[in-house]
């Protein structure tokens, strides 16, 4: 019995010893205690004789001075795993040293020779995956001496540039919104980044809304189920469903996924952005057309049924002959929609009963905010214009606006470019030394799937003193993202008239004045004579100037500023009223000049807060002034007995009107009446054109009695006369109220 007790005790002791045994730790290899001290061994003037460097190392070496050729030393970088390698070569006494990087197949990748005689060379971030070769050589024959090669390796980090990346094929992939850290580490450094743009055919944000401009007609065939492939075709006469972007059944039962066309004559359901049933029972998602003669329900921005019972969500066109329910908004005009025109109408919390407005285009001087460029309302307006037989201006190709932020580097003048996939320049800018660039609304084509952003150093100095700046110790960061303004953003570069950003009547653009000295141009194209009202919002820290500009005539001509508004100061808006446009008109947004240290400069910028330029138009029917009319040469013709209205804006605005009585055989008694406006003491001045073309003042009416009318009576001999309207004291303006000038023939 005692024997068994000792056996148990021994067994427990052995088990305890086994449990206390420390777990085995895998061998991590040799521990690096510091850089390896290596010595160059000759011969090493060929790659197959290169000295292997696999870890942090300091190499003592020497280049032999040879009169007939330059000595060269080869080194092989071969870390056990991918590494970012910093290479430094000390200078040669009385000589200029350079080094080159080759791949494993002996193809030259990059050469570094940024400094002068006796100075070291450095490459801060060479990416080595596998092996790379270094070739160290003097810049010219007959030079030699001792030097030190230092190699430091580290693990690559996410968001870090990997050199060399000086070509499109080697470009670093940079997702939109992410930041990369990089160096302009030597004079010839050039960093390429590949930016993939979102596909415009795919709805942004994955909400299933149908892209604008989808065209096509469904064909006969069998449909797939509701999860069918994108861009598929459903059945016309049978049961069919369609996936995203497809066409659903026309005469049968069909369900349609996002962005499709639902059944037209049967029962159909339609996902977001689709066209629902026209003669049956149908449901439509956002942006869709629901049943026209049946029962239908429509989500946001849709067209509801016309002859049946329908419900319309926010922004929709409600029923015309049935019962309609409208979501919070205005009855009959909810967002951009028309509610029921005939029938019973119910409104929700914020609604009010009123007749539906006319679908025809109305004047846009009412003050309501216009739709964004490319919105559904603009499309509807174009469609109505086409139905009315008015030729529409072709739409501009879609574009994408990018935001690019590049931090500054001490001693470096950067040069940034945006290139297309074919490496065609889309935008370029040279920054000042150490300047941080915040570039807004850089325009690229939406049809491009890939663009390249290239960062390199600029040349400074001239002649023999010209050099390219660099900094191998201080990195920069680059971030490329898509602007939130989307299709309403200005598109840089637009600092020249031929690069002007298109803007549509009834639309707006958002832009930035950045960097300092930025100038933005916009172009309005019309198919008929219109009068445009141009409004520019104010921006913190900016004193904006709004101008109408005429392109130069001929190659050697200069641009002409026809109108200029700078009534506001910092943060205040600017406007142009009654701008006559028939074809193409250009507008310019810029910062005002200010005097700093005795010099006039334009150093305003704000890369964080955008301005908004809005253009609204009305048809030019001759009842309002046509700006610019500030000279006799641009005077507007008057018709006896027909009133014309105008505004005195901006300050010192002068309006000329021309009355031609040259065909009258005898004197003509006339009476001119000018109805005044608030704030401005309007004055009326009558001039006659002399045979030499100059004007002579014949009568005035400028009592400066506030908004009281002014009147002139005159017996006019045959000839040409001009009426001038302006503030009598040239110090006030009023963009809101209109004066009225009437010239009548009296007895």
Query: How many other CB atoms are found less than 10 A from the CB of residue 104?
Result: 12
Q: CB neighbours of 553 closer than 8 A, spacing ≥ 6?
A: none
Both tokens of residue 109?
Answer: 């990748």
Region of poorest pLDDT, from 176-190, 277-291, 505-519, 613-627: 277-291
Question: How far apart are alpha carbons 240 and 269 in whole angstroms?
Answer: 11
Per the model's pLDDT, the better-predicted residue between 680 and 276 turns out to be 680
Residue with tokens 């001075």: 65
DSSP designation for 499? G
Mean pLDDT of the 75-104 span: 94
Residue with tokens 């190659």: 555
Find out whether 322 and 310 touch, Cβ atoms under 8 Å: yes
pTM check: above 0.95: no
Residue 469 has pLDDT above 80, yes or no: yes
pLDDT of residue 380: 55
Per the model's pLDDT, the better-predicted residue between 462 and 573 turns out to be 573
Q: What does the pLDDT look like over 279-311, one tens digit per residue?
A: 434 443 333 333 334 443 443 333 333 443 434
Both tokens of residue 354?
Answer: 């009123």
Find out whether 135 and 99 touch, Cβ atoms under 8 Å: yes
Helix (H), strand (E) at residue 379: helix 376-387
Mean pLDDT of the 617-634 span: 95
Residue 254 has pLDDT above 60, yes or no: no
Largest CA distance in the chain: 154
Q: What does the pLDDT look like over 476-494, one tens digit per residue?
A: 999 999 998 888 889 999 9
Both tokens of residue 463?
Answer: 């002649």
Write the DSSP assignment of 331-348 as a string of letters. TTBSTT----SSS-EEE-
Per the model's pLDDT, the better-predicted residue between 221 and 556 turns out to be 556
Q: What does the pLDDT look like over 173-207, one tens digit per residue?
A: 999 999 999 999 999 999 999 999 987 666 544 44
pLDDT of residue 352: 37
Per the model's pLDDT, the better-predicted residue between 297 and 63 turns out to be 63
Question: How far apart are alpha carbons 98 and 91 in whole angstroms?
Answer: 9
Residue 367 has pLDDT above 60, yes or no: no
641-646: list long-range contacts, CB under 8 Å, 24+ apart.
641/742, 641/743, 641/744, 641/745, 642/742, 643/740, 643/741, 643/742, 644/740, 644/741, 644/742, 645/738, 645/739, 645/740, 645/741, 646/578, 646/725, 646/738, 646/739, 646/741
Both tokens of residue 358?
Answer: 């006319």
Characterize the bridge pairing of strands 121-128 and 83-89. antiparallel
Residue with tokens 């944000």: 205
Residue with tokens 């909810």: 334
pLDDT of residue 393: 54
Question: How far apart are alpha carbons 605 and 614 in whole angstroms?
Answer: 20
Question: How far apart are alpha carbons 245 and 97 in whole angstroms?
Answer: 62
DSSP designation for 13? H
Query: How many other CB atoms are found less than 10 A from the CB of residue 50?
Result: 20
Nearest to 674 by CA among 610, 613, 725: 725
Strand partners of residue 246: none
Question: How far apart are alpha carbons 67 and 80 in whole angstroms?
Answer: 39
Please, which pLDDT band fits residue 625 given cuts at 50, 70 and 90? very high
Share of the chain above pLDDT 90, in %: 54
Mean pLDDT of the 637-646 span: 95
Mean pLDDT of the 452-460 span: 92
Q: What does the pLDDT look like over 414-425, one tens digit per residue?
A: 999 999 999 999
pLDDT of residue 603: 79
Q: Where are the strands (E) in 203-362, listed by range?
A: 240-242, 254-256, 268-270, 282-284, 296-298, 310-312, 324-326, 345-347
pLDDT of residue 199: 78
Please, which pLDDT band fits residue 637 given cuts at 50, 70 and 90? very high
Find out whether 431 and 515 touch, Cβ atoms under 8 Å: yes
Mean pLDDT of the 436-465 span: 89
Residue 163 has pLDDT above 70, yes or no: yes
Please, which pLDDT band fits residue 597 given cuts at 50, 70 and 90? confident
Nearest to 471 by CA among 187, 61, 161, 149: 187
Q: CB neighbours of 10 closer than 8 A, spacing ≥ 6?
A: none
Both tokens of residue 680?
Answer: 């401005």
Strand partners of residue 734: 648
Helix (H), strand (E) at residue 668: strand 668-675
């Amino acid at each position: 019995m005692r024997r068994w007790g000792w056996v148990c005790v021994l067994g427990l002791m052995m088990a305890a010893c086994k449990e206390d045994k420390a777990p085995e730790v895998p061998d991590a290899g040799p521990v690096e205690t510091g850089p390896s001290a290596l010595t160059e061994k000759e011969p090493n003037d060929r790659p197959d004789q290169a000295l292997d460097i696999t870890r942090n190392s300091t190499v003592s070496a020497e280049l032999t001075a040879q009169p007939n050729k330059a000595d060269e030393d080869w080194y092989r970088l071969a870390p056990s795993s991918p590494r970012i390698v910093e290479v430094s070569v000390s200078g040669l006494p009385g000589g200029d040293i350079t080094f080159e990087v080759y791949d494993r197949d002996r193809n030259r990748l990059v050469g570094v020779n940024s400094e002068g005689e006796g100075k070291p060379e450095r490459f801060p971030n060479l990416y080595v995956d596998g092996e790379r070769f270094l070739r160290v050589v003097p810049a010219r024959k007959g030079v030699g001496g001792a030097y030190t090669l230092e190699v430091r390796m580290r693990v690559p980090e996410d968001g870090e540039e990997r050199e060399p990346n000086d070509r499109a094929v080697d470009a670093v992939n940079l997702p939109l919104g992410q930041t990369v850290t990089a160096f302009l580490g030597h004079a010839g450094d050039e960093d390429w980044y590949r930016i993939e743009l979102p596909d415009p055919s795919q709805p942004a944000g994955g909400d299933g809304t149908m892209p604008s401009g989808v065209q096509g007609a469904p064909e006969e065939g069998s449909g797939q189920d509701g999860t069918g492939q994108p861009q598929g075709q459903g059945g016309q006469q049978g049961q069919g469903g369609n996936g995203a972007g497809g066409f659903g059944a026309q005469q049968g039962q069909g369900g349609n996924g996002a962005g499709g066309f639902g059944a037209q004559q049967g029962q159909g359901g339609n996902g977001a952005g689709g066209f629902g049933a026209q003669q049956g029972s149908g449901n439509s998602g956002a942006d869709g057309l629901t049943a026209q003669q049946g029962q239908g329900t429509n989500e946001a921005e849709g067209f509801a049924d016309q002859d049946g019972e329908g419900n319309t969500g926010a922004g929709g066109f409600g029923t015309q002959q049935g019962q309609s329910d409208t979501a919070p908004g205005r009855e009959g005009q909810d967002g951009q929609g028309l509610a029921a025109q005939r029938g019973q109408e119910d409104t929700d919390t914020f609604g009010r009963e009123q007749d539906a407005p006319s679908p025809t285009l109305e004047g846009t001087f009412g003050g309501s905010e216009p739709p964004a460029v490319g919105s559904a309302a603009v499309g509807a307006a174009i469609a109505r214009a086409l139905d009315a037989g008015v030729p529409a201006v072709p739409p501009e190709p879609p574009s994408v606006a990018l935001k690019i932020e590049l931090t500054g580097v001490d001693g470096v003048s950067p040069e940034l470019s945006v290139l297309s996939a074919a490496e065609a320049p889309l935008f370029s800018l040279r920054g000042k030394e150490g300047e941080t660039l915040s570039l807004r609304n850089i325009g690229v084509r939406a049809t491009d799937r890939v663009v390249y952003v290239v960062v390199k150093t600029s040349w400074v100095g001239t002649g023999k003193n010209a050099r390219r700046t660099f900094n191998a110790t201080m990195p920069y960061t680059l971030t490329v993202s898509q602007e939130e303004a989307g299709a309403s953003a200005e598109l840089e570069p637009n600092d020249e008239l031929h690069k002007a950003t298109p803007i549509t009547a009834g639309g707006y653009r958002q832009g930035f004045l950045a960097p300092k000295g930025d100038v933005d141009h916009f172009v309005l194209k019309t198919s008929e004579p219109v009068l445009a009202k141009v409004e520019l919002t104010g921006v913190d820290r900016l004193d904006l100037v709004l101008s109408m500009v005429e392109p130069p005539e001929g190659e050697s001509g200069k641009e002409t500023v026809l109108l200029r508004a700078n009534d506001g100061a910092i943060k205040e808006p600017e406007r142009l009223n009654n701008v006559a446009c028939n074809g193409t008109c250009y507008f310019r947004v810029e910062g005002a000049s200010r005097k700093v240290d005795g010099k006039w400069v334009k150093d305003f910028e704000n890369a964080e807060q955008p301005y908004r330029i809005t253009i609204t138009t009305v048809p030019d029917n001759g009842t309002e002034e046509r700006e610019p009319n500030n000279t006799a040469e641009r005077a507007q013709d008057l018709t006896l007995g027909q009133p014309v209205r105008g505004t005195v804006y901006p300050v010192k605005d002068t309006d000329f009107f021309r009355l031609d009585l040259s065909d009258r055989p005898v004197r003509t008694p006339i009476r001119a009446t000018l109805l005044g406006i608030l704030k401005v003491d309007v004055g009326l001045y009558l001039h006659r054109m002399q045979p030499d073309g100059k004007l002579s003042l014949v009568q005035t009416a400028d009592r400066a009695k506030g908004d009281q009318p002014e009147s002139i009576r005159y017996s006019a001999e045959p000839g040409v006369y001009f009426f001038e309207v302006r503030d009598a004291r040239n110090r006030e303006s009023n963009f809101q109220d209109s004066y009225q000038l009437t010239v009548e023939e009296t007895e």
